[in-house]
A and B are shown apart, each in its own frame.
Chain A
């Protein structure tokens, strides 16, 4: 088990471009979460999946954001028409099937929008 992985680790883009991030959870975990962390702050919840079903979305997840987990394994987070305010670390976490199970985090994707 190699833990949660995320790709890319860093992304620099120009305002208005679309970006997509990928997360591969721990293999036996069926819950997958996305969080956003801005500099000097704690992570903020964006959305989560149980298997392929997206069960909850935060109000932080504007219409420009979309997340998928088509086969219940890896997930993608896409940001369309990026804005400078989207610059942040995007963290993925995974856990077992029960809500109280510990979430294990990946290394994150650091996005910089110029």
Chain B
């Protein structure tokens, strides 16, 4: 069974500052992949960033980067130069080859960006 845990129900950050959202996971699969999705209020879920477990290099997408610690089963998201439009619910998710195509999601972290 796969589990994904986000221990921070809510986080806040000042505009232009940096914030890190935490995620831990547990899986028995050797070939898996991790995602961060963003879900703004009343809007659809969009992909922020993905990481393949076999890659040692941390993924980066513009202001978004991850800190992937495979041994610790940790996958945190860092948002640099936070913008008002970054305010949303952020979900960490994990999928794997042998678990079919299902994604297992965490409980989410509600991010508030203060002007």
- A45 lies within 8 A of chain B by Cβ: yes
- In the docked arrangement, what's the CA distance between A58 and B46, Å? 23
- B62 lies within 8 A of chain A by Cβ: no
Query: Interface residues of A toward B: which range?
Result: 20 to 34
* CB-contact partner of A45 in B33, B102, B108, under 8 A: B102
Flag if B44 contacts A106 (CB, 8 Å). Answer: yes
Interface residues of A, Cβ cutoff 8 Å to B: 31, 33, 35, 40-45, 48, 55-56, 58, 91, 95, 99-100, 102-108
Shortest C-beta distance, B100 to chain A (Å), equals 5
- In the docked arrangement, what's the CA distance between A95 and B97, Å? 14
* CB-contact partner of A91 in B35, B45, B52, B96, under 8 A: B45
- In the docked arrangement, what's the CA distance between A106 and B35, Å? 17
- In the docked arrangement, what's the CA distance between A102 and B37, Å? 11
A-B pair count, CB < 8 Å, reads 60
* CB-contact partner of A48 in B46, B47, B96, B102, under 8 A: B102
Shortest C-beta distance, A95 to chain B (Å), equals 7
- In the docked arrangement, what's the CA distance between A18 and B52, Å? 41
9 interchain residue pairs of minimum CB distance: A42-B105, A45-B102, A107-B44, A105-B45, A56-B100, A99-B101, A42-B91, A43-B105, A48-B101
B residues contacting the other copy or chain, number (CB 8 A): 26
- In the docked arrangement, what's the CA distance between A102 and B31, Å? 15
Flag if B97 contacts A99 (CB, 8 Å). Answer: yes
Flag if B101 contacts A56 (CB, 8 Å). Answer: yes
- In the docked arrangement, what's the CA distance between A95 and B95, Å? 13
- Point out the residues of chain A lying under 8 angstroms from B47, CB to CB: 102, 104
Task: Say whether, besides A99-B97, A100-B97, A45 and B44 are in contact (CB < 8 Å).
Answer: no
23 A–B contacts from the bound complex (CB under 8 Å): A31-B101, A33-B102, A33-B103, A42-B4, A42-B91, A42-B93, A43-B103, A55-B100, A56-B101, A58-B102, A95-B101, A99-B95, A99-B97, A99-B100, A100-B31, A102-B35, A102-B50, A103-B95, A103-B103, A105-B45, A105-B46, A106-B44, A107-B44
- Point out the residues of chain B lying under 8 angstroms from A40, CB to CB: 107-108
Closest to B52 in A: A100
